[in-house]
Structure 1
C-alpha cells in the first residue's frame, strides 16, 4: 500500500514529556538512564540505521495501516535533528528561550514527506544528524541546566531537552525497524 490520502495518519496530539520520567513501553527507551551529554554519541549509530532503512526496496510504502512509511519517518527524524539542534542553540544563546511551535503533522503534509526521494532524504538526514551531533557535543558542561520553554508551557533544561530529543529519534528507529518484520 502506497502512502496516499486514503491512508490518513491520525495526528499525534499526546504530550510525550512523560518519557523523561520513565521508560517508554513502546520502544523501551529510558531517559532516566542518560544525561544530555550522552546524546551526541548516540546520534551517528541511529542515523546509520535510518540511512540503511531508506535503502530498502519499498521505503516509500506504508506497510502498516495508519502508520508512516520508512521514508516519512526518516523525513520527520531529519527535521527533528534540525529542530532540536536549533532549540539547543537557542537555549545556549538565551537561558529561558522560548521555542516556536512545531506541528509535525502539518509539516509532514506541507513538505509532502510521502513524495520525497529516499536517496535525497538519506543524505539530508545524515547531514542533519552530523550537525546535531556537533551541536550536542559542543554544549559546555556548565550549560546543562539552562532552560527552554515549549509553546505549550513545558519547561526543559538543556539536559532534559537532549534526552527528550534522543527518545524521539530512538522511538522512530523502533517504528522503522518494526516495518521490516
Structure 2
C-alpha cells in the first residue's frame, strides 16, 4: 500500500472497543478537574474564542506526531482518535451556541460521541486531514463565541439528558473538553 493511502474501513479490523464514557462531566463548570487541572469556572467567557485559537497549534502538533495513530493502551484512544473527537466537539458546540443565541431555550439533539467514533472510524482517518479540519472547526467555533453579545451569555439551552446550560457555562464546559483531551494525548 502506498504510504499516502488510507486503510480501507472494510478491510481493517476495528481496534479494541473503548468503554463508553457514561460519566456526567457537567460538574466541571463548578469545580477544578482533578485529572487535567482545568478550572472551567475561572474562564472569562469573552476569552473562550482566543483560548480555542491558542490551543489549536498544540492539537495540530499532536496530530503530526509519528505516534498519532498509536493507542497508548488497547482501550485508550490514540491522539488521532482524540483529535477527530475534538474536531467534532468543535462542530457540535458551534451549532449549540448558534441555537442558544438564535432560539429561546433550545433542546440540543443528542450526540453519542462513542457511536460517532465507531461509525466514522476515527482510527482510520488521516491525521493531517483531521488537523486541518480541527483547525477550521476551531476558527468557526472561536468566531461564534467571539460574536456572543454581552447580554446573551446567560441565554439557556438544554441537552437531551436535561442538563441546563447558559452560553457562558456551555463555553466553559466545552473549553474543558478541549483542554482535557490535550492532557489525554500529552500535548
In structure 1, the residue matched to 2:63 is: 54
- Structure 2 spans left out of the alignment, 5+ residues: 1-11
- TM-score with structure 1 setting the length: 0.94
Secondary structure of 1:156's counterpart equals strand
Distance 1:87 1:175 in 2: 25
Alignment of 1:116 with 2:125, yes or no, is yes
> Aligned match of 1:129 in 99, 123, 138?
138
**Per-residue deviation, 1:113:** 0.2
Please give the root-mean-square deviation of Cα atoms over the aligned residues, in Å. 1.3
Matched ranges for 1:34-53 at <5 A = 34-53=43-62
Secondary structure of the structure 2 residue equivalent to 1:97: coil
Distance 1:34 1:61, change over 3 A: same
Structure 2 residue matching 1:78: 3-state secondary structure: helix
Task: Measure, in 2, the Cα distance between the counterparts of 1:65 and 1:37.
Answer: 39
**If the length of structure 2 is used for normalisation, what is the TM-score?**
0.91
Runs of 4+ aligned residues of structure 1 deviating over 2 Å after TM superposition are 3-7
* Conserved 8 A contact 1:36-1:161: no
C-alpha distance in structure 2 between counterparts of 1:24 and 1:66, whole Å: 22
What's the secondary structure of 1:148's corresponding residue? strand
1:93 is matched with: 102
Residue by residue over 1:10-61, the C-alpha shift from the partner in whole angstroms, topping out at 9 and shown as x without a partner, is 0001110010110000000001111322211101121110100111102111
Question: 2:94 touches 2:141 (CA, 8 Å); kept in 1?
Answer: yes
CA–CA distance in structure 2, aligned partners of residues 120 and 31 of structure 1: 29
* Alignment equivalent of 1:166, drawn from 172, 175, 181: 175
Considering only CA atoms, is the larger Rg found in Structure 1 or Structure 2? 2
Q: CA deviation at 1:160?
A: 0.3
Q: Distance in 2 between matches of 1:165 and 1:149?
A: 14
| Contact 1:60 1:71 (8 Å CA) reproduced | yes
Q: Which of the numbers 60, 77, 81 marks the counterpart of 1:68? A: 77
* Residue aligning to 1:78: 87
Asked if the contact 2:40/2:173 (under 8 Å) is kept, the reply is yes
Q: Alpha-carbon deviations, 1:82-110, whole Å to 9, x = none?
A: 00000000000112011000000000000
